[in-house]
Structure 1
């Protein structure tokens, strides 16, 4: 009976160590940035600028009229008015955006990127922007989906960005 208890304890310790090793993966190096065309780079720089000013109306104006914001832990938001209301009180701070990949074809495109804040080293999260070319030729955001790169908290919820 005592041998069984010892073996069971060793098994529990071994499994706990294995679980902990899997829970803390080795950090991966950041992917390199890519250079964007001036038209696509304008989308990121205008987004950064409006965010830094806390300008919810300016952020919403970067979206197609029927665009989406898809934030982790929140219901989808659709339409400029709803996007402006959602960003009111959220925006503000030294946001940094960089592109990891991008492409366009005719009237649609995308930017996959990473974001950080201020002088903090490294990326704090990642995003995808799907784009639609407006009637005036200007690229507008059709959907903005982002999430944190920080490890999930206990229970699976990511910390707020």
Structure 2
């Protein structure tokens, strides 16, 4: 077998065997939470307004924080576009003690983002993370153009139907 053919064969085996082994660790790594990032007041207002509306179960208030064509990207659900659709997603939800914290941010004149973590009540650790992209007209308040969240851990697998157990879950904030 010539050297080129051997190299192609080895590379092929690495591509086939490598990714599954590299992407499926047996135990999740223990990672320390990132520290909070202090936001400028105009960006911090977005998070505090979101918390207030969420805690009050105010679907219209949450939707008003988005641009007219804003996009909501929740865990395990298809994307939602537009204030009316975002409001409809949250209609009837009861409030809960959402806490948002910033991990990183950037902002220019008309575009910005916040990366953060979320938890509920007095929980010691974030249960999920989010990215919010922002837009504004100069001199106007920031509005959310997209909001994507992700839980920090996968939900536990469902038990077989013959062994029911009660479960309680808290929905992601976004």
Q: TM-score, normalised by structure 2?
A: 0.74
Runs of at least 5 residues in structure 1 that lack an aligned partner in the other structure: 1-20
- Kept in 2, the 8 Å contact 1:103–1:110? The answer is yes
Partner residue of 2:47 out of 40, 44, 65 = 44
Are 1:76 and 2:72 an aligned pair?
no
Deviant stretches of 4+, over 3 Å:
151-155
- Encode CA deviations 1:59-100: one digit per residue, 9 max, x unaligned: 000000110100111111011000000111345100000000
Q: TM-score, normalised by structure 1?
A: 0.79
Q: Supply the distance in 1 between the matched residues of 2:114 and 2:33 (Cα, whole angstroms).
A: 17
Partner residue of 2:134 out of 131, 134, 143 = 131
- Encode CA deviations 1:7-41: one digit per residue, 9 max, x unaligned: xxxxxxxxxxxxxx933223210000100000000
Runs of at least 5 residues in structure 2 that lack an aligned partner in the other structure: 1-23, 159-168
Which has a greater percent of strand?
A: 1
What is the total number of aligned residue pairs between the two structures? 139
Displacement of 1:146: 0.3
RMSD: 2.1
- Kept in 2, the 8 Å contact 1:69–1:76? The answer is yes
Matches of residues 59-70 of structure 1 in structure 2 within 5 Å?
59-70=62-73
